[in-house]
Structure 1
Amino acid sequence: MAFSLYLVLAVCGLVSAQTPHQVKALVNNLLSDYDKRVRPVADQSLPVILDVSFNLISIIGVDEVNEKLETSGFLTIQWDDAILTWDSATNNDISKIFLPQNDIWKPDLVLGNGFKKFEELGGYFYYVDILSDGNVFWKPFQVFQTLCAVDTKYFPYDKQVCDIVFVVWSYTVQDVEIFKSAEGIDLSNYKESGVWEITYTEAKVSKSSAESKVTFSVHIKRKPLYYVLNIIAPILFLGLLTILVFVLPVDAGEKMSYAMTVFLSFAVFLTIISAQLPVSSDSTPVLTIYILLQMTMGVMVLVITAFQIRLHHRDETVPLSKVFEIMVKVDKCLRCSKSCRPSKNLMISPTPEKDDRANNYQETLEEEIKKGHTVEWKDVTSAIDLLAFWIFLILYIVLTAYLFLSIAT
């Protein structure tokens, strides 16, 4: 019973040792001669040393058009206040107190590359953590909007490096100095973004005769799956649809309207992408160049299609020029190269009847090609379809290979 009574008295004594009145007395004693306008160093010729680290919570978004990075997080700023020190043993074992940030001196640290006007970090409801040895910890939370030079040349496989700069605004480096950044960028509380992935972070302290600043650099890369499925894939399909216009016969009557519809679809996609990219002439995205080239192909297809329709309805009495005759010859050679070639069976076991039939077909074909009056204008439009189809298909493959080799490397 005596031991239990001793424990109760000890606990009651411990609890009563840090009553609100005692903490209030300590705070009043510390702030009685405290002037927050004076730097809290015993030797005023020495600077106040700041330790600044950045706890990144999330990347809210990157505005490519306005070149703005929006993040949420808080700074951990530590410095020594030579005036706010006390002996915890003689002050009822009080080793820590909390005070509003505006009750004591604090550095005028501001966002150096902010997108909006300068604002004070924290607020009147923020408290600072003060230890008995004078160590002060200040953790202002804020949504930071900073300038970020966005290079979208390889969109949507682009990588960006965005800086978040904090500067001691009023004091010179002789008064307040950022000496080190102990933790750099802390990602322990970071919540993964659905659009951007952090690849690397770094912190750098720089000093000049006028100011001291710390730069937190965030290296990010875009997650491309959404853009591949919703932008690139439809563009590739539209490119194939453009080429298929040469598969439709001129007699179908829908050749021109089909080509115009595909061309307008490209124009719509170019508008959508342009709204997401920064307005800059320094770096044109490869994807934009690709769409412009595809639109150029679409214009060429429209011109060729209109020219085809004009030729298809031309009077048969109008003689063919030499160019059209050559195109028809090439077309017929390509179309019947397989049928004109002897089959494997003929090569293995030829018979006189089969040889004669193949030879007669080749001779008849050559005679028809040589006679200009036997070639009709519909043969010319058919030849244009075949030649244009293969030319534009090869061009499409080359452009698509250029696109993926450029943006994916």
Structure 2
Amino acid sequence: MAAISTVFAVCLFGGVNSQTPVQVKSLVDNLLSNYDKRIRPVEDQTLPVILDVSFSLISIIGVDEVNEKLETSGYLTIQWTDSLLRWDPASNNGISTIFLPQNDIWKPDIVLGNGFKKFEEFGGSFYNVEVESFGNVFWKPFQVFETQCSIDTTYYPYDREVCEIVFVVWSYTVIEVEIFKSANGINLNEYTESGVWEITRTDVKVSKESVESKVTFSIHIKRKPFYYIFNIMIPILFLGMLTIFVFALPVDAGEKMSYAMTVFLSFAVFLTIINTLLPVSSETTPVLSIYLLMQMTMSILVLFITALQIRLHHRDTSVPISKPFRFMVRLMHYFHCRKSCKTSKTISPAENKDSEYRDNFDSMGETSQEEKNRPEWKDVTSAIDFLAFWSFFLLYLCLTVYLFATIIRGS
């Protein structure tokens, strides 16, 4: 009884539309029988074909700072209306959408305008386009795009870059084919997060320059700095401190010069590593490179001062000490005994009398006392160690504060 009711309902309200391969083939044959893909698919050839171009970004494969190249993967969604591919679904068993090989119909010759390689056709022979009954065509060619990207590494590794991916209609003028809009802009729904770069913003711009139509997709990215902090910046800071501790080693230790040379060579190695990561450009110089260069300059000065110290330390005691070196020794003694001098200002009356007797005795043998207090060359090297240690330490702090203040302010 239920089966009879079903048959009765079908006969009463209409049959079920079935789409067989034969019917679809018949529709495709009818559409392509007089179709010529060499002709723009508009009924009025004085009007342009209007394109809607969007970009779906899949991943940022890498950014080559040296060659200033951005490598991404993704696909375009190009939509236009083909007036020669229209049909009535009601007359074709309800077929509203068909898929055709991309090489069987007309398609715009869009190329990558700022690529590194020669122009190549998007898609391939196995790519299909989606065609709707109203003539709307959707073409989604996937590609790995290598585009030019101007890299500004001033605040490396906290730099922010703006890279553009430009698509241009190459052969046709804007009168014949026009990119009118980009409805979806850059689609990030299928985007896979990069381990080095973070996308902060995306923009799209449709423009007409001279007789060509183009669309520019801008990707604003910033570098994730944690890898570079732990592997480059922190070791450089530690090496800078090791340079200062050269002056903590006494000259008699014998390893002062070799220690200073080792630290200098370490800075040279780090400068070589960083230079391989940065673009070859004279327009921008990373603040980190300037900081590293200043640290190397400090290391050279340390080497020079250390060599001078060793030379002075082994100088014969009969050689008189010049006034600048005497001043350095007195300055060292001043800072060393500053606290003890403050504590010795408060003395008892008995101690005051004793001091008067000592002063009278000292005045009688003033010449012998001066000879006894005459500084030696080892005192000179100790004074150089003391003054150079604190001078280079203050310089190191100033350079480090300048580095981080500039990077944070710029980023």
- TM-score (ref. length: structure 1): 0.93
Alpha carbons of structure 1 residues 256 and 163: separation in structure 2 relative to 1, 3 Å: same
C-alpha deviation, 1:148, in angstroms: 0.3
Match of residue 160 from structure 2:
159
Q: Following superposition of structure 1 onto structure 2, how do residues 49-128 of structure 1 map, counting pairs within 5 Å?
A: 49-128=50-129
Kindly tell me: are residues 322 and 92 of structure 1, through their superposed partners in 2, closer, same or farther at Cα, counting changes over 3 Å? Answer: same
AA aligned to 2:127 is: Y
Give CA-to-partner distance per residue, 1:191-235, whole Å, 9 cap, x none.
111111111100000103320000000011101111011100000
Report the Cα distance in structure 1 between the residues aligned to 2:397 and 2:122, rounded to whole angstroms: 54
Give the equivalent residue in structure 1 for 2:374.
374
Secondary structure at 1:220's aligned position in 2? Answer: strand
Q: Give the 5 Å matches for 1:24-39.
A: 24-39=25-40
* 1:111 positional shift: 0.3
CA distance in 2, matches of 1:301, 1:351: 47
Unaligned runs of 5+ in 2: none
Give the whole-Å Cα distance in 2 for the aligned partners of 1:166 and 1:29.
34
Offset of 1:300 from its aligned partner?
A: 0.2
Q: CA deviation at 1:374?
A: 2.2
Match of 1:240 in 2: 241
Q: Distance in 1 between matches of 2:196 and 2:321?
A: 59
Q: Aligned with 2:291: secondary structure?
A: helix
Give the corresponding residue for 1:302: 303
Q: Percent identity over the alignment?
A: 67
Question: Are 2:217 and 1:220 aligned?
Answer: no
What's the counterpart of residue 47 of structure 1?
48
Cα distance between partner residues in 1 of 2:75 and 2:5: 48
Partner of 1:391: 391
> What SS is found at the alignment partner of 1:289?
helix
Residue 197 of structure 2 is matched in structure 1 by 196
Task: Name segments (4+ residues, structure 1) moved above 2 Å.
Answer: 3-15, 350-361, 366-374
Structure 1 vs Structure 2 CA RMSD: 2.4
Change (3 A) 1:229 1:45: same
What is the alpha-carbon distance in structure 1 between the residues aligned to residue 395 and residue 66 of structure 2?
32
Deviation at 1:11, TM superposition (A): 13
The question of 1:14 aligning with 2:25 is answered no
Shift of 1:14: 3.3
Report the equivalent of 1:351: 348
Please state how far the C-alpha of 1:369 moved relative to its aligned partner: 9.4
Instruction: Name 1:322's counterpart in structure 2.
Output: 323
Inter-partner Cα distance in structure 2 for 1:220 and 1:367: 75
Aligned to 2:86, the other structure's residue is in SS state coil
Partner of 1:3: 5
The Cα of 1:143 is off from its aligned counterpart by: 0.8
Shift of 1:8: 8.2
- Stretches of structure 1 lacking an aligned partner (at least 5 in a row): none
Are 2:144 and 1:147 equivalent residues in the alignment?
A: no
**Matched residue type, 1:192:** E
Distance 1:14 1:355, change over 3 A: farther
Shift of 1:190: 1.0
SS in 1 for 2:16: helix
Q: TM (normalized to structure 2)? A: 0.93
Task: Kindly state the Cα deviation for residue 357 of structure 1 after the two structures are TM-superposed.
Answer: 8.2
Count of residues paired in the alignment: 402
